[in-house]
Amino acid sequence: MKFNETVIKRLRQAETIVFFTGAGISQESGIPTFRDGAKSLWKDFDPDIYASVNGFDNDPSKVWQWYAERRQQVRVLEPNRAHFIIADWQHKAPHVTVITQNIDGFHQRAGSQNVIELHGSIARNQCRKNGHRFPHDFDHPTQQPPNCPECNSLLRPDVVWFGENLPEEAYSQAEMKSFNCDVLVSIGCSMEVFPAASLPYNAARCGAYLIQINTQATDLDTVAECNFQGKASEVLSALWCAVWNSDVEA
Ligand code: APR
């Protein structure tokens, strides 16, 4: 894979880098994406049922059990090379932030320190009534959603469903980062879900160098300076070698 000198220099000189990630980065770990390909989740499962408050209220056990399967996947699967390369980038640039739409916790497991989770985490639950939050007990899965120890309402996964607001603090931190980075690398995001998808556009408007890695075209193609079509782990491995092991003058 060939990269032009500008990409290599911009990445090598960047003081502040944001990696903005979506389901595509975990696809190579074996976690299904939501909207691309025959095995994507929203092809087989209705998001109105499995990713909405109404869906949960109509049949809490059904939704809870669906998430139990996803929790089991996250537990047995591992972060892949793409997650590890992003974690290694912390040793190369002074300020590296990961802003992710993923709920699998793989960036943290790979060693990334500054991770902003825009869509929550499958490793936590929150109660339906008051939003009390608790770590999920992976060792003792239940068929039914348990009750909140504080207010007795039902616990649900602490993830953002359609129609819900993003966690306020996470989103405002992510916005700040998008306004103030030298380079933003968007990886495995379909760019269809807002407001998360507005972050790369913010970065571009504020003068950041925008790089996109995706197996397919997205709406961001026309805005990004560089579009690398390919799998996250393959493109990032090649990019790492080009930036840190090549003799292009920076
Ligand atoms: N490497 C790079 N990109 C990939 C790979 C891969 N190995 N595999 C798939 N992709 C790309 C697809 O081409 C697609 O553009 O990843 C993207 C995945 O898109 P989505 O499934 O829509 O995932 P995402 O953008 O993260 O979805 C946003 O929608 O319902 C939700 O809340 C959920 O956080 C999620 C949000």
Q: Please give the DSSP secondary-structure letter assigned to residue 222.
A: G
Distance from Cα 147 to the centre of ligand 1, integer Å: 32
pLDDT score, position 37:
80
Q: What ligand 1 atom has the least distance to the C-alpha of 22?
A: 26
- Residue from 74, 85, 198, 215 to probe ligand 1 pocket by mutation (most atoms less than 8 Å from CB): 215
Confirm or reject: Cβ of 29 under 6 Å from ligand 1. no
Which among 108, 88, 104, 114 is positioned nearest to 29, based on CA atoms?
104
Q: Are 131 and 157 in contact (CB under 8 A)?
A: no
| Residue numbers annotated as active site | 119
Query: What residue spans define the domains of the chain?
Result: 1-31+79-119+166-250, 32-76+123-159
Confirm or reject: Cβ of 33 under 6 Å from ligand 1. yes
Give the C-alpha separation, 208 to 248, whole Å.
Answer: 21
How many CB atoms sit inside 10 A of residue 184's CB? 28
Residue of the CA atom closest to atom 9 of ligand 1:
24
Q: What ligand 1 atom has the least distance to the C-alpha of 159?
A: 32
Confirm or reject: Cβ of 23 under 6 Å from ligand 1. yes
> DSSP for 174-202?
HHHHHHT-SEEEEES--S-STTTTHHHHH
Give how far the C-alpha of residue 97 lies from the chain's centroid of Cα atoms, to the nearest Å. 12
Give CA torsion, residues 140, 111, 1, 247, to 10 deg: -170
pLDDT score, position 246:
73
Distance from Cα 70 to the centre of ligand 1, integer Å: 16
Q: Please give the DSSP secondary-structure letter assigned to residue 154.
A: B
Top-level CATH class of 32-76+123-159?
alpha beta
Question: Regarding the domain with residue range 1-31+79-119+166-250, which homologous superfamily does it belong to in the CATH classification?
Answer: TPP-binding domain (3.40.50.1220)
Cα torsion angle, 169, 170, 175, 178, sign: positive
Give the global pTM. Answer: 0.97
Distance from Cα 170 to the centre of ligand 1, integer Å: 20
Residue of the CA atom closest to atom 31 of ligand 1:
34
From the CA atom positions of the chain, what is the Rg in Å?
19
Task: Give me the residue label for tokens 């579009």.
Answer: 227
Distance from Cα 35 to the centre of ligand 1, integer Å: 7
> DSSP for 49-85?
HHSSHHHHHH-HHHHHHHHHHHHHHHHHS---HHHHH
Give the C-alpha separation, 70 to 103, whole Å.
Answer: 10
Residues of the chain with pLDDT under 50: none
Confirm or reject: Cβ of 79 under 6 Å from ligand 1. no
- Residue from 46, 83, 106, 193 to probe ligand 1 pocket by mutation (most atoms less than 8 Å from CB): 193
